[in-house]
Structure 1
Amino acid sequence: MSREATVEDLTSVLGSYLDNNRINQVRRAYYYAEQAHEGQMRKSGDRYITHPLAVAGILANLKLDHQSLMAAMLHDVIEDTGIPKDALAEQFGDDVAELVDGVSKLTQIEFRTRAEAQAENFQKMTLAMARDIRVILVKLADRLHNMRTLGPMRYEKRLRIATETLDIYAPIANRLGMHAVCTELEDLGFSALYPMRSKYIAKAVDKLRGSHREIIDDIRGKLEEKLEERGLPGKIMGREKHLNSIYNKMKFKHKSFHEIMDVYAFRIITETEDDCYRILGAVHSLYKP
């Protein structure tokens, strides 16, 4: 059984980019939420406070500001404990209270049909409802942790939450450029909806990764040598196509896993457009397009 994360774990992360005054404000929000949620438990049997703490941890890894972290700690207080917005404003200021209230209102949104949820206008409306973009960021972190801990939920609720995640929250994360969050939301949603297909593709990817390791390392080495030879600045990053993306490609193009050619790819990051084109030319000298 893994050790329960603590507020001390969080503050050790915050110390890398927040001053002591702001860290103490986040701690105060944690202790307030801990008292407000006293006696409440998650479906997993964990104390409820572990959830807002985890949400704050996700945002801390994105280096969000202290008010966002405070709102993460308090995001379920209005909805689940009966403490009013005014009380939060008195304790933590209007900005934090507005963030918490905004997250609560987003949580209460319901859509009537899947088509409505998938509609781009619905996603735009959701974004527009949040006058402060930080409301959306807290809500995305909330949804990400809920997806990570979906297991103990009833089957029907797991399916509903997973579908909602794929239809609404993953596209919003993608729209905001939060690609790592989007990818994880998509893979968790896919795994919840199609567990057997997810396991099959994950196993196939693991097998492919192992059998192609030498080829992947060789390509990376050649790219590094070519950039160094031409004096081009660029950071080479491997990118593995994620499970939901592979499944969608198989589904819509009617292909088997072994017919998917871009499971693994490389991305080269550089600073200027000029360097980008020069690097592209260098890559084409190695591998014809």
Structure 2
Amino acid sequence: MMRQYELVERVQRYKPDVNEALLNKAYVYAMQKHGHQKRASGDPYFSHPLEVAAILTEMHMDEATIAVALLHDTIEDTTATRAEIDELFGPEMGKLVEGLTKLKKLDLVSKKAEQAENLRKLLLAISEDIRVLLVKLADRLHNMRTLDHMPESKRLRIAEETMDIYAPLAGRMGMQGMREELEEIAFRYINPEAYRAVTARLAEIFERNKGVLQEIETALSGLFEKHTIKASVKSRQKKPWSVFRKMEAKALSFEQLSDIFGFRVVVDSVDDCYRALGAIHTTWSMVPGRFKDYISTPKQNDYRSIHTTIVGPSRQRVELQIRTKEMNKIAEYGVAAHSIYKDTGGKMNGAGHAISK
């Protein structure tokens, strides 16, 4: 279990002027309040809020949000009260912890897509401070990572709830990394047979295409070096749920899928994005109808990137994403990567506008 100083050190790596006193105080208070409580796994209950806090440090959240993560179950599951938290940590912290308690009490069992959409809107409506949703999503992610320890009767319900509500919510907030992980874990429990089959087939295809992928990566890196464009080139493989969903929706077989693999090109500037695109299109043929410029026209959740598909060096289709480092960060962490919510005290204007629709 992570110790106090380790948590502080994690935050210090990206926020040198961290409020150590706040983190230490929240750590000790939550640990004492949860006392000898245990998780279904048998681990100390405090390990859960601590893991939620750790997830938020990966997203470079501020110490107030991380302190709320440490405290998020205290009102619901211990003798702590809103008044006590207000007194010890201030009314703003108390309001955030109480907001999480209210979310926990919601009946989130969803059977229909329409009902799930209404519940997503409800979550957004009562979470006027976006930090509440960020902590809630981190809380759900850790609970999904430890779902094996839950009674079998509850696993399917929790997985369906995650697929219907929390994964789409993470996507709407632009947090693609979290959305994908939530979907993959949920898929594993909702349809284990399909999950195993798709995962095994993807592994087999990857093994068969390793040489080709390396050839394309080398060709792209050489092209950018020739044009003096500093770029990171990495292959990426579609996730099992994404592949399964596409096969089901379009009635496709594995053999008919043309975009299982792709490449992500990360550069330093917007100008370099277009220079890289120009170098690619003058070297290889572009596949018609497969170009999208989300830099000039960002998605509602502020996702920005250039998407294109070419006929690559080995005559196969190659799907490419071209973006800057900052765009890559926002694609991974969404609104959590923005300073906008911090500048407004966590209020859901600006970055929260798109996800409230």
Q: What's the TM-score, normalizing by structure 2?
A: 0.75
Q: Out of 7, 11, 22, which is 2:8 matched to?
A: 11
User: Given that residues 117 and 167 in structure 1 are in contact (C-alpha distance below 8 angstroms), is that contact kept between their aligned partners in structure 2?
Assistant: no
Residues 280, 125 of structure 1: alpha-carbon distance in 2 compared, 3 angstrom cutoff: same
Is 1:206 matched with 2:171? Answer: no
Paired residue for 2:122? 125
| Counterpart mapping for 1:121-270 below 5 A | 121-270=118-267
Question: How far off its partner does 1:155 sit?
Answer: 1.8
For the structure 1 residues 116 and 242, does the alpha-carbon distance in structure 2 shift closer, same or farther, using more than 3 Å as the test? closer
Structure 2: distance between partners of 1:198 and 1:112: 23
Answering whether residue 74 of structure 2 is matched by residue 82 of structure 1, we say no
Report if aligned partners of 1:234, 1:269 keep a CA contact under 8 Å in 2: yes
Q: Which residue does the alignment assign to 1:37?
A: 34
Structure with the larger strand share:
2
Q: Which amino acid aligns with 1:140?
A: L
Secondary structure in structure 1 of the residue aligned to 2:148 = coil
Q: Which residue among 92, 95, 104 is the counterpart of 2:92?
A: 95
Cα offset, 1:210, TM superposition: 1.9
Shift of 1:21: 5.7
Q: Label 1:6 to 1:260 Cα distance change in 2 as closer, same or farther (>3 A).
A: farther
Relative to structure 2, which stretch is displaced further, 147-156 or 264-273? 264-273
In the alignment, which of 67, 71, 94 is matched to residue 70 of structure 1?
A: 67
Counterpart residue type for residue 181 of structure 1: M
Asked if structure 2 preserves the Cα contact closer than 8 Å seen for 1:162 and 1:193, the reply is yes
Q: TM-score, normalised by structure 1?
A: 0.92
8 Å contact from structure 1 (residues 14, 23) kept in 2: no
- Matched letter for residue 194 of structure 2: R
Aligned length: 286
Question: Which structure shows the bigger proportion of residues in helix conformation?
Answer: 1
Bigger CA drift: 192-201 or 271-280? Answer: 271-280
CA RMSD of aligned residues (A): 2.0
* Distance verdict in 2 for CA 1:282–1:250, change over 3 Å: same
Among residues 279, 282, 291, which one is paired with 1:285 in the alignment? 282
Task: Give distance in 1, aligned partners of 2:96 and 2:135.
Answer: 9
Cα distance in structure 2, aligned partners of 1:46 and 1:20: 32
SS at 2:14 equivalent: coil
Contact 1:39 1:47 in 2 (8 A): yes
Counterpart CA distance in 2 for 1:118 and 1:199 is 29
**Alpha-carbon distance in 1 for matches of 2:15, 2:223:** 40
- Deviation for aligned residue 1:238: 2.4
Q: Does residue 24 in structure 1 map to residue 25 in structure 2?
A: no
Q: How far did residue 134 of structure 1 move?
A: 0.5
Deviation of the 1:267 alpha carbon: 1.9
Q: Which has the higher contact order (CA 8 A, sep 6+)?
A: 2
**Preserved CA contact (<8 Å) 1:118 1:167:** no
Partner of 2:330: none
**Ranges in structure 2 where 5+ consecutive residues have no aligned partner:** 288-357
Q: Which amino acid aligns with 1:34?
A: M
